[in-house]
Amino acid sequence: MILAYSKRFEKEAFKEMVKDNVKILYRKTIEEATSQQIFQAVSYAVKDIIIDDWLATQEECRKKDAKMVYYMSMEFLMGRALGNNLINMMSYKEVREALEDMNIDLNVIEDQEPDPALGNGGLGRLAACFLDSLSTLNYHAYGCGIRYRYGMFKQKIENGYQVETPDEWLKEGNPFEIRREEYAKEVRFGGDIRFEKDPETGKDIFIQENYESVRAIPYDMPIVGYGNHVVNTLRIWDAEAITNFSLASFDRGDYHKAVEQENLAKMIVDVLYPNDNHYAGKELRLKQQYFFISASLQAMIAKYKKHHDDIRKLPEKVVIQMNDTHPTVAIPELMRLLIDVEGLDWDEAWDVTTKTCAYTNHTIMAEALEKWPVDLFSRLLPRIYQIVQEIDRRFVSEVRAKYPGNEEKVKKMAILWDSQVHMARMAIISGFSVNGVAKLHTEILKHQELKDFYEMMPQKFNNKTNGITQRRFLLHGNPLLADWITGRIGDGWITDLSKIGNLKVLVNDEQARREFMQIKYQNKVRLAAYIKEHNDIEVDSESIFDVQVKRLHEYKRQLLNILHIMYLYNQIKEHPEMSFYPRTFIFGAKAAAGYQRAKETIKLINSVAEVVNNDRSINGKLKIVFIEDYRVSNAELIFAAADVSEQISTASKEASGTSNMKFMLNGVPTLGTMDGANVEIVEEVGEKNAFIFGLSSEEVINYENNGGYNPVDIYFNDWELKRVIDQLTDGTYSDGDHNMYRNLYNSLLNTQCTNRADTYFILKDFRSYAEAQKKVEEAYRDDHRWSKIALMNTACSGKFTSDRTIEEYVEDIWKLEKVAVPSGQ
Ligand code: 26W
């Protein structure tokens, strides 16, 4: 869009491009431009270079007619694009130097970019890592999602409380996106369905009348593969009214209708729901789901039909992966398009749909399960609902045939039950693959949560342990360590992380370990500076950086962490002579806006921080830092600087976790429960290089099914723990207010408050956690031992690359072929 440039990525030419862009965009010289303007200018220059490879990729894929995956997701937590694109174009250092020539610091320029935060947490970030791996591994892929006007809210901490403010990520414009007006699609909601017999074919034709509709307009963002010229597309949809309000419609009396359509369009893509693992049943959310799915599938079919004429062969060229149940309306919508628009009969359409759609489950938390009330669902999506009814009718008769007289089975498996549409059931019944995201999680799905389905269709179930991209979380986020590793074992690890295992031979090399720890120290200094700037807290870079960063949720047990800190503080106060290795506890967490207990936990962390950080009598042995607005960009700094990775969810509750992997890659041992992917981390790194505690998932599930746990017994038998819990209501951390943390207190001890007190076994696991923490301290005091642990974590992290995960998806589910792309220039 900026002009035709000399396309060779050469330093002087690049500098000219940037200067020209500043001139064209802002009528300024480079010296006059603000950092934000330079960011825009640099980004346009980079995009200009990407575009050629982007075109070349499309061309190669068309020529090869390669099968492709559509990764459907309500969330893509991409993080900043500029630095990542430069990394993957293998031009980061060159561009940094080119900018240095002009007295511009690339770090400062990168900091101008808002984090595209179109996701909540794990599920959205996983989608982003997957896109990076798909491009890097030469697969043809589309990510499909929503271009929310406001992404994840910005978090401010005021007086210890979380305050949410809107994330205006598009305010300055998004230099990497391209609006694709010509691919706009219409999406219809509501109205009535009438059917007629086609006089020629005798088939039923379904006609939707009195509906509201919006126009979906795609914006494409490039997904650059590492060093291979592959550029895939993240396609996110914006909404516009079809009938723009006009005087003409006003005259015709359609004023209300025009305004309604305008409002509907505005509202649909307005904001990302900030709930993580909690289903709220909001009508607008279902609209969002259908909106992006219908638009994406229409575009998918149009693209397929451009070069193929038999729609029944769609599964040979296309596979749809549904990221949790949020995109599951894809199933009935694909049926609708195949039957109502393409003219297939039911059986043909069902054959195509069931060979095309696959489902990933990301959680077993009961409150996260999507179940839409039938009246809402059928009113909003009348034709889709008819199709769901028919899928359900056929399935239920299959169940009855297989389990005659067993109506329990119908109750547990029917899509339509209790006046609700059970989305996970629909996904399992209609897809050809169901996968969990870590071994333990998949086993729990097979044998607990989804056992009736597993029994009936075992061949669909498979595991795909999550992974993360080392390009962002090591090469970009921790350049010192990345360079060191490359210096030691070459740069093969960047695209083949199994090679990082070659570092294992260095664990007995004292010099190597010293260098490794020296880098960790420098990264701690870098984070300490960030903390000084943002929190105005001085932290000691020699202290143990003990970190828990993730969404705030009771099952993740930030409360266990802070209660333990309160316990340590009591001990230090009581025994000032006690030997205690200085610790900095670092938290980062957003709470869903309506999640009271989660918000109370944030306030508690900040209040304890206030007291402890200002208590001179403890000589700085303990510091607590709550990092405001935890997001992808500051996460990169945090992983690189951590000493201890807190992964302390109640066993069985965390499907996988992925921050655990990012820490490991950066040489950080896990302090955690045997939950999610922690199990596999320990398998790789060995028990002596991790700190494991707490109930096992079997024990937790056993208590949940059979009872027998009473936290009150523990409370009365452990006076130190009792004292900590009592401090929640005795005013110690609330300026004398006895009610500020009353809900938290009740959640631990009061049976009236939940069906079982201490739902997440915090009291039960407390002592074992405290023991594990002691072992961390002991190990840390021993430099030799600690440096081995740290280095071994990096060296054993090879399994946890999303490249491995993607190859497994390709092999077992997607069956894609690789596409080679010559440089587009
Ligand atoms: C309907 C509301 C809602 C919103 C988001 C329900 C559920 C979700 C997500 C499935 C929550 C989520 O992000 N789950 C996380 O997915 C990660 C990627 O697989 C896992 O690593 C985490 O363990 C899991 O909590």
Residue 278 CB less than 6 A away from ligand 1: yes
When pLDDT is cut at 50, 70 and 90, the band that residue 251 belongs to is: low
Mean pLDDT of 377-402: 98
Q: How far is the CA of 122 from the centre of ligand 1 (A)?
A: 6
Residue 152 pLDDT:
98
Mean pLDDT of 204-213: 92
Question: Which of 72, 279, 363, when mutated, tests ligand 1's pocket best, judged by the most ligand atoms within 8 Å of its CB?
Answer: 363
- Judge if 65-79+115-465+809-814 and 515-800 fold alike in CATH terms: yes
ipTM over 0.90: yes
Instruction: List residues bridging with 31 in a β-sheet.
Output: none
When pLDDT is cut at 50, 70 and 90, the band that residue 40 belongs to is: very high
Q: Which residue has the tokens 């700094």?
A: 637
Residue 458 in contact with residue 434, Cβ under 8 Å?
A: no
C-alpha–C-alpha distance, residues 159 and 653, integer Å: 32
C-alpha–C-alpha distance, residues 144 and 292, integer Å: 8
Residue 298 CB less than 6 A away from ligand 1: no
Residue 656 CB less than 6 A away from ligand 1: yes
Residues catalogued as catalytic: 362, 550-551, 556, 658, 662
- Locate the ligand 1 atom nearest the alpha carbon of residue 466 and give its number: 19
Residue 650 in contact with residue 761, Cβ under 8 Å?
A: yes
Residue 752 pLDDT:
66
Q: How far is the CA of 128 from the centre of ligand 1 (A)?
A: 14
Residue 4 pLDDT:
34
- CB-based contacts of 402, cutoff 8 Å, min separation 6: 456
C-alpha–C-alpha distance, residues 783 and 323, integer Å: 43
pLDDT at 3 over 50: no
C-alpha–C-alpha distance, residues 65 and 178, integer Å: 24
Amino acid, res. 352? V
Residue 7 pLDDT:
46
What is the residue-averaged pLDDT of the chain? Answer: 96
The H-or-E segment that residue 622 falls in is: strand 622-626
Closest C-alpha to ligand 1, atom 22: 657
Q: How far is the CA of 663 from the centre of ligand 1 (A)?
A: 19
Residue 401 in contact with residue 421, Cβ under 8 Å?
A: no
Q: What 8-state DSSP symbol labels residue 549? A: E
pLDDT at 682 over 90: yes
Chain centroid offset of residue 287 CA:
21
Amino acid, res. 158? E
Residue 536 in contact with residue 575, Cβ under 8 Å?
A: no
pLDDT tens string 577-600 = 999 999 999 999 999 999 999 999
State residue 356 phi and psi, 5-degree precision.
Answer: -105, -30
- Locate the ligand 1 atom nearest the alpha carbon of residue 285 and give its number: 1
Residue 165 exposed, middle or buried by CB count within 10 Å (0-12, 13-18, 19+): exposed
Q: Is the dihedral of CA 730, 735, 738, 740 positive or negative?
A: negative
Residue 277 CB less than 6 A away from ligand 1: yes
**What is the biggest distance separating any 2 CA atoms in the chain, rounded to whole angstroms?**
94
Residue 654 CB less than 6 A away from ligand 1: yes
C-alpha–C-alpha distance, residues 414 and 394, integer Å: 10
pLDDT at 352 over 80: yes
When pLDDT is cut at 50, 70 and 90, the band that residue 823 belongs to is: confident
Instruction: List residues bridging with 213 in a β-sheet.
Output: 188
Q: Which residue has the tokens 């936990």?
A: 601
C-alpha–C-alpha distance, residues 266 and 370, integer Å: 24
Q: In the Cβ-directed half-sphere of 595, how many Cα atoms lie within 13 Å?
A: 26
Q: How far is the CA of 12 from the centre of ligand 1 (A)?
A: 46
- CB-based contacts of 823, cutoff 8 Å, min separation 6: 52, 53, 56, 229
- Locate the ligand 1 atom nearest the alpha carbon of residue 657 and give its number: 21
Mean pLDDT of 306-311: 98
Radius of gyration of the chain (CA): 27
Residue 661 CB less than 6 A away from ligand 1: no
Q: What 8-state DSSP symbol labels residue 241? A: E
H helix intervals, 457-579: 470, 479-489, 510-535, 558-574
H helix intervals, 403-496: 407-413, 423-430, 439-444, 451-456, 470, 479-489
Q: Which two tokens stand for residue 195?
A: 């059917």
C-alpha–C-alpha distance, residues 554 and 546, integer Å: 19
Residue 204 pLDDT:
87
Neighbours of 347 (CB within 10 A): 8
Q: Which two tokens stand for residue 540?
A: 């000691």
Residue 328 CB less than 6 A away from ligand 1: no
* Strand pairing report for 161-165 and 154-158: antiparallel
Closest C-alpha to ligand 1, atom 11: 277
Q: Which residues of 767-795 are buried (b: 16+ CB within 10 A; e: fewer)?
A: eebbebbeebeebbeeeeebbbbbbbbbb
Q: In the Cβ-directed half-sphere of 183, how many Cα atoms lie within 13 Å?
A: 19
Closest C-alpha to ligand 1, atom 21: 657
Residue 741 pLDDT:
97
pLDDT tens string 631-655 = 999 999 999 999 999 999 999 999 9
Residue 478 in contact with residue 666, Cβ under 8 Å?
A: yes
Residue 327 CB less than 6 A away from ligand 1: no
Mean pLDDT of 51-57: 97
CATH of domain 515-800: 3.40.50.2000
**Helix (H, G, I), strand (E, B), or coil: what is residue 222?**
strand
Residue 371 CB less than 6 A away from ligand 1: no
C-alpha–C-alpha distance, residues 382 and 379, integer Å: 6
Residue 174 CB less than 6 A away from ligand 1: no
Closest C-alpha to ligand 1, atom 3: 277
Q: How far is the CA of 277 from the centre of ligand 1 (A)?
A: 6
- CB-based contacts of 557, cutoff 8 Å, min separation 6: 648, 649, 650, 760, 762, 765
When pLDDT is cut at 50, 70 and 90, the band that residue 9 belongs to is: low
pLDDT at 8 over 60: no
Q: Any long-range contacts for 574-577 (C-beta under 8 Å, 24+ apart)? A: 576/617, 576/618
pLDDT tens string 532-574 = 999 999 999 999 999 999 999 999 999 999 999 999 999 999 9
Instruction: List residues bridging with 395 in a β-sheet.
Output: none
CATH of domain 65-79+115-465+809-814: 3.40.50.2000
493 to each of 125, 127, 499, 774, 788, how far by Cα in Å? 21, 22, 5, 34, 20
When pLDDT is cut at 50, 70 and 90, the band that residue 259 belongs to is: confident
Residue 466 CB less than 6 A away from ligand 1: yes
Amino acid, res. 511? Q
When pLDDT is cut at 50, 70 and 90, the band that residue 797 belongs to is: very high
Q: How far is the CA of 469 from the centre of ligand 1 (A)?
A: 18
Q: How far is the CA of 364 from the centre of ligand 1 (A)?
A: 9
Q: How far is the CA of 527 from the centre of ligand 1 (A)?
A: 28
Neighbour order of strands in the sheet with 420-422: 371-373, 420-422, 416-417
H helix intervals, 553-658: 558-574, 596-613, 632-641
Residue 657 CB less than 6 A away from ligand 1: yes
pLDDT tens string 733-790 = 999 999 999 999 999 998 665 568 999 999 999 999 999 999 999 999 999 999 999 9
Residue 105 in contact with residue 141, Cβ under 8 Å?
A: no
Q: Which two tokens stand for residue 415?
A: 């899509």
Strands (E) across 278-340 are located at 318-323
Q: Which two tokens stand for residue 630?
A: 């935890």
**Helix (H, G, I), strand (E, B), or coil: what is residue 136?**
helix
Q: How far is the CA of 137 from the centre of ligand 1 (A)?
A: 25
Residue 338 CB less than 6 A away from ligand 1: no
Residue 809 CB less than 6 A away from ligand 1: no
pLDDT at 48 over 50: yes
- Locate the ligand 1 atom nearest the alpha carbon of residue 324 and give its number: 10
Neighbours of 306 (CB within 10 A): 8
C-alpha–C-alpha distance, residues 521 and 52, integer Å: 41
Residue 472 in contact with residue 801, Cβ under 8 Å?
A: no
Q: Which residue has the tokens 């047990």?
A: 557
Residue 658 CB less than 6 A away from ligand 1: yes
Q: DSSP letters along 659-706, please? A: HHHHHHHTT--EEE-S-TTHHHHHHHH-GGGSEE-S--HHHHHHHHHH
Neighbours of 267 (CB within 10 A): 15
Amino acid, res. 377? F
Q: DSSP letters along 155-208, please? A: EEEETTEEEEE---TTTT--TT-EE-GGG-EEEEES-EEEEEE-TTT--EEEEE
Q: Angle at CA 585, nearest 5°, toward 583 and 589?
A: 170
Q: How far is the CA of 655 from the centre of ligand 1 (A)?
A: 8
Residue 465 CB less than 6 A away from ligand 1: no
- Locate the ligand 1 atom nearest the alpha carbon of residue 360 and give its number: 19
Q: How far is the CA of 362 from the centre of ligand 1 (A)?
A: 5
Sorted by where each begins, the domain ranges of the chain are 1-64+82-114, 65-79+115-465+809-814, 515-800
Residue 75 CB less than 6 A away from ligand 1: no
Measuring CA to CA, which residue among 290, 340, 276 is closest to residue 311?
340
Residue 389 in contact with residue 336, Cβ under 8 Å?
A: no
The H-or-E segment that residue 539 falls in is: none
Residue 123 CB less than 6 A away from ligand 1: yes
- Locate the ligand 1 atom nearest the alpha carbon of residue 125 and give its number: 18
Residue 362 CB less than 6 A away from ligand 1: yes
Closest C-alpha to ligand 1, atom 8: 277
Q: How far is the CA of 368 from the centre of ligand 1 (A)?
A: 8
**Helix (H, G, I), strand (E, B), or coil: what is residue 421?**
strand
Closest C-alpha to ligand 1, atom 9: 277
C-alpha–C-alpha distance, residues 12 and 23, integer Å: 17
Q: Which residue has the tokens 């982007």?
A: 54
Q: How far is the CA of 367 from the centre of ligand 1 (A)?
A: 12
Question: Which of 123, 371, 434, when mutated, tests ligand 1's pocket best, judged by the most ligand atoms within 8 Å of its CB?
Answer: 123
State residue 257 phi and psi, 5-degree precision.
Answer: -60, -45
C-alpha–C-alpha distance, residues 437 and 450, integer Å: 14
Residue 252 pLDDT:
63
Q: Which two tokens stand for residue 532?
A: 């000084």
